[in-house]
Structure 1
Amino acid sequence: MNRMMYALIAVFLIAAVLLSSIFIVDEREKALVLQFGQIRAVKEDPGLAFKIPLIQNVERYDDRILSLDTDAIEVTPSDDRRLVVDAFARYRIADVRRFREAVGAAGIQAAEQRLQGILNPQIRAVLGAEGVTSNTILSADRSSLMVRIRELADQRARALGLVVVDVRLKQTNLPTQNLDATFDRMRAERQREAADERARGEEAALRVRAQADRTVVELVSEARRESEITRGEADAERNAIFASAFGADEDFFEFYRSLTAYDRALQGQNSTMVISPDSEFFEFLNGSQVTSGSGIAAPASE
């Protein structure tokens, strides 16, 4: 009975040792076999792997592309217009042995701190290079700047066993203390542009108004000229008619003109005239007669 118990214990111990010597490497990770802190094997292929129980242990590292958000930093482009830049990077562990040797047991946390220490100087160096202005950083040309930052950061990250896959600028803002001044300058520029637009509009309105006034003057002048011509022609025709009538019967014409003069002079309810009764004005009212063949006679005096 005791022998069977010892055998079962032995089998159990052997099974436990065998199981503790086997580990599985996932396709999304890499593994290091360590013995007393020293690297004994690198397991990069997925599947079963072995280690010495109790003596060796396994450290696993993510083999996928990882993300790192950097802290916002201030950069000064060549036009001395300071900007606050917030970036992020994509990286992966390319050499797990070198990675372990570089960062030790601290792992990803220490690696990201050191990677951020690499990225920030490269961002400042590239964005502050000669010829790079704030307009360049804020325009579509920033893509070439991000490629340059990635290349420089990748060269230095190789020492950590890392590969920098991509670097992107998330936000590019002005420092808080510069916002008010920038907004005031933008407001002043917009007000100046608005004043220029209004001035151009007023100038155009004055041109249109002047052209309209000129057209009015020309039309009125032309109408007056034509009316004067028409009036002159009518007066000429009227005078010709009067002249013809005068030539046909001078006494009747004189009688007609006198009646017209009476009609114009003696108007209203209180017309008063101080004039000699013997005046020629009363020629047809003082008893005289027209002696021509007109057939007009003054009333006989009593």
Structure 2
Amino acid sequence: MRKTTFLLPILVVVVVTLLSAVFVVDEREKALVLQFGQIKAVKEEPGLAFKIPIIQEVVKYDDRILSLDTETIEVTPSDDRRLVVDAFARYRISDVVQFRQAVGVGGIRAAEDRLSSVLNAQIREVLGADQVTSDTILSEDRRELMTRIRDQARISARGLGLDVVDVRLKQTNLPAQNLEATFARMRAEREREAADEIARGNEAAQRVRALADRTVTETLSEAEREAQVIRGEADAERNRIFAEAFGEDEEFFAFYRSLQAYENALSGGNSTMVMTPDSQFFDYFKNERAQGGAVAGQ
């Protein structure tokens, strides 16, 4: 009985010691076996692993792609228009040994602080380059800029044992104090473009009106010419008919022309004519019978 009582605690201690020597590495993790702060083993494959109890400890790090949001900073492109920029990055621990040596016991928090500084430095460097303007940053060309930031940040992050997978610019806005001036400049530019369009429209309208006036003038001139030709032909035809009529019967032609003269002379209501009775104008108004009777009476 005493022997059993003595062996039971020893058995418990042995079991606890054996259990503390076994640890599990998840497929989403990488593990380091440390002995007095020194790296003794690297466990990157998932499954069971062993360590020396009490003397050795296990530190695990996430092997998945992680996300980091940077702080908002101001950058000044080559056109001196300041922009408020923040970004986010995707990264993963590529070399767990180098990562441990670089950040020590600080772990992921310390690594992200240093990575954030690297990203901000690269954002300032790339967006502040000589050929980069605010319009470039706000246009579709920002894809190329983000690629450059990622590539340069990747080089700097290798010393931390990190691999920068991607970098994206989230916010690229003007500072609040510059918005009103920028909007005023945009309004002035749009008003200038509108004035140019109005001027071009007025110029086009003047050309259309001038063309229309010229067309009207040419049309009227052509119509007047054709009318003159027609009137000339009509007058010629009339004169020909008169000539033929005169040749056929001179007395009738004289009678007809006299009737026209009477009509033109006596058409006005206030017309007054003073003539002698024996004027030739009234030849066709004379009554031969009356004249004959007067001669016989005489």
Q: Which TM-score applies when normalising by structure 1? A: 0.84
Change (3 A) 1:147 1:263: closer
Amino acid at match of 2:14: I
What secondary structure sits across from 2:285 in the alignment?
coil
In 2, distance between residues paired with 1:66 and 1:272?
A: 117
Structure 1 partner of 2:165? 165
Report the identity percentage.
Answer: 66
CA offset digits 1:62-84 (Å, max 9, x no partner): 01121111112111122222222
Structure 2 partner of 1:130? 130
In 1, distance between residues paired with 2:293 and 2:177?
A: 117
What secondary structure sits across from 2:284 in the alignment?
coil
Structure 2 partner of 1:236? 236
Give the conservation status (yes or no) of the 8 Å contact 1:66–1:90: yes
**Unmatched runs of 5 consecutive residues or more in structure 1:** 290-297
Structure 2 partner of 1:111? 111
The yes-or-no answer on 1:70 pairing with 2:67 is no
What secondary structure sits across from 1:284 in the alignment?
helix
In 2, distance between residues paired with 1:42 and 1:10?
A: 32
The yes-or-no answer on 1:27 pairing with 2:33 is no
The yes-or-no answer on 1:81 pairing with 2:81 is yes
In 1, distance between residues paired with 2:150 and 2:131?
A: 19
**1:175-186 equivalent positions in 2, closer than 5 A:** 175-186=175-186
**What is the CA distance between 1:280 and its match in structure 2?**
3.1
Aligned residues: 293
In 2, distance between residues paired with 1:137 and 1:64?
A: 31
Q: CA RMSD in A?
A: 2.8
**1:80-99 equivalent positions in 2, closer than 5 A:** 80-99=80-99
What secondary structure sits across from 1:132 in the alignment?
coil
- Return 145-154 or 203-212, whichever deviates more: 145-154
**1:135-284 equivalent positions in 2, closer than 5 A:** 135-267=135-267, 273-276=272-275, 278=277, 279-284=279-284
**What is the CA distance between 1:259 and its match in structure 2?**
2.1
Give the conservation status (yes or no) of the 8 Å contact 1:92–1:164: yes
**What is the CA distance between 1:35 and its match in structure 2?**
4.3
Change (3 A) 1:46 1:259: same
What secondary structure sits across from 1:197 in the alignment?
helix
CA offset digits 1:251-300 (Å, max 9, x no partner): 322222222233334447x66635235143322223258xxxxxxxx897
In 2, distance between residues paired with 1:300 and 1:224?
A: 56
What secondary structure sits across from 2:129 in the alignment?
coil
Change (3 A) 1:273 1:286: farther
**What is the CA distance between 1:228 and its match in structure 2?**
0.8
Structure 2 partner of 1:294? none
In 1, distance between residues paired with 2:270 and 2:128?
A: 104
**What is the CA distance between 1:137 and its match in structure 2?**
3.0
Change (3 A) 1:250 1:128: same
Amino acid at match of 1:57: E
What secondary structure sits across from 2:131 in the alignment?
coil
In 1, distance between residues paired with 2:69 and 2:99?
A: 20
In 1, distance between residues paired with 2:195 and 2:202?
A: 10
The yes-or-no answer on 1:14 pairing with 2:14 is yes
**What is the CA distance between 1:116 and its match in structure 2?**
0.5
**What is the CA distance between 1:85 and its match in structure 2?**
2.0
**What is the CA distance between 1:20 and its match in structure 2?**
1.9
What secondary structure sits across from 2:263 in the alignment?
helix
**Unmatched runs of 5 consecutive residues or more in structure 2:** none
Give the conservation status (yes or no) of the 8 Å contact 1:287–1:301: no
- Return 142-151 or 13-22, whichever deviates more: 142-151
Give the conservation status (yes or no) of the 8 Å contact 1:122–1:149: yes
Change (3 A) 1:254 1:41: same
Q: Which TM-score applies when normalising by structure 2? A: 0.85
What secondary structure sits across from 1:276 in the alignment?
coil
Q: Between Structure 1 and Structure 2, which shows a larger proportion of helix residues?
A: 2
In 2, distance between residues paired with 1:246 and 1:239?
A: 10
